[in-house]
Amino acid sequence: MNNRIKKINLNHSFIFFLFCNIFTLIIYKFNNFDISPLICLFLILIIGISHGSLDHEKGKKLFEILNIKRIIIFYLLYILIAILVIIIWINMPSTSLIIFLIVASFHFGKEDTQFLIDENSYFNQLLFLFKGLLIILAPIFFHFNETVSIFKLLLVDNEIFYSTLAFIEANKVLPILIILSTFSSIYLFLKKFENKKFTIFFDYFSILILNYYLSPLVAFTIYFCFLHSIRHSISLIYEIDNENFTNGFKVFTKKALPLTILTAIFCLISLYLLNNSYDLHSSILKIIFIGLASLTFPHILLEYFLEKNEK
């Protein structure tokens, strides 16, 4: 099954790479063309969120391994962690943002690559972190001021934080970090090379192309929905049924739909409430990034404990 997943993900990465080139060319030809933040939110709620909407199934699996009978405990813990992340963000936005960016880098680097890597060493975990950093660094490098304005909308008002960012930009630290990220991708690409590892090559250039031509929000939305989330969903579909993809997709959709709809409803309610205090653009950015942070932490913790206990 692993070779089958590798082949599917290679085809997916190649199609995504072509899409990025065609889409950004269209944007380049129409200079005034832009994608509404509302469309970005819609895509994230429909496509992006769904790749984590089987966490309740994974929670049941983890509790079976741990021989815990009351699944309600899982739901309460999951929701509690999500709420706790939001509370901590409101009270310590700068620290929360830094931690979220680091955790997200590792999460993106690992989930986009680990199906190609057999060895699960600490060194590979470090490579995943550096590889995933490109998703965070590219928008800062290509659109520094616009990215900083997004950080400010996320309640981050710490002068030390922005002074550090300005120092990093002025002293060419960003190119050095991007080079480190590039070397990590090259190492992962070349180590025990096989043709299917061209997935890493296509993903790397897709991320650069998106962030060079598009705004940070649009670039992230396209990456998160159409590369990261679809890739993760494909792996979940094959876990459900590795013989019949169509049947696996149907079962996945049926299982993912309830939590996807529930999450979307909560986000829309939050958007309505936030819109009473902030403009629509600011409210959408808060929902997307602070909301994703609140879902990412329990999602990653669940993946970690499940992986650890399955071994």
3-state secondary structure string, 199-259? HHHHHHHHHHHHHHHCCHHHHHHHHHHHHHHHHHHHHHHHHHCCCCHHHHHHHHHHHHHHH
pLDDT at 309: 81
Q: And the tokens for 281? A: 């653009």
Half-sphere exposure of 189 (CA within 13 A, CB side): 15
Q: And the tokens for 225? A: 């929905």
Q: Report the mean per-residue pLDDT for the chain.
A: 90
pLDDT at 98: 92
Residues of the chain above pLDDT 70, percent = 99
Do residues 141 and 174 lie in contact, with contact meaning Cβ atoms separated by under 8 Å? Answer: yes
pLDDT at 183: 96
pLDDT at 1: 53
Q: Which residues of the chain have pLDDT under 50?
A: none
pLDDT at 32: 64
pLDDT in tens, 62-77: 999 999 889 899 999 9
In the DSSP assignment, the letter for residue 139 is H
pLDDT at 91: 92
Query: Can you give the pTM of this predicted structure?
Result: 0.92
Q: And the tokens for 234? A: 């494909």
pLDDT at 297: 92
pLDDT at 270: 92
Q: Could you please report the per-residue DSSP string of 258-280?
A: HHHHHHHHHHHHHHHHHTTTS-H
Do residues 56 and 42 lie in contact, with contact meaning Cβ atoms separated by under 8 Å? Answer: no
pLDDT in tens, 239-265: 888 888 889 999 998 988 888 888 889
Spatial CA neighbour of 54 closest among 309, 235, 242: 235
